Amino acid sequence: MNKPQKVIIETIQILVGILLSYFFWKNNFLLCGIYIALAGILIYLHKDKTELAIFIYGIIIGTLVETVGTKISGYQSFAQPDFSGIPVWLPFAWGYGFIAMKRIGFAIKNA
């Protein structure tokens, strides 16, 4: 598989995440469960032990960034916040995105 194909395949994860958020944003806990399940499947199938740590790191950073944006600086708000001014699924979307970006980075570097 050539580099552009590998990058496109890995980018599909980001597009899936965007579509999931678009279709399920009104059901915060369902969307949270979907992101956790998808991340779990990606981590399990890829068999890269670092991806769980990357997912958790993404959750932490996502929570921090979104909390700063809503509670501290107030530059954003959400229609259905659950905690700290943000929807419960949003940090998990960040974790999912961190995994996807790691894979895209390796696809660009190694393919």
pLDDT tens digits, one per residue of 56-71: 999 999 999 999 988 8
Query: Rounded to whole angstroms, how far apart are CA atoms 87 and 45?
Result: 28
Give the pTM: 0.89
DSSP structural state of residue 79: S
Q: Report yes or no: 3 and 107 within 8 Å, Cβ to Cβ.
A: yes
pLDDT tens digits, one per residue of 22-32: 999 999 999 99
- C-beta pairs of 53-58 under 8 Å, 24+ apart in sequence: 54/95, 54/98, 54/99, 54/102, 55/95, 55/96, 55/98, 55/99, 56/95, 57/95, 57/98, 58/91, 58/94, 58/95, 58/96, 58/97, 58/98, 58/99
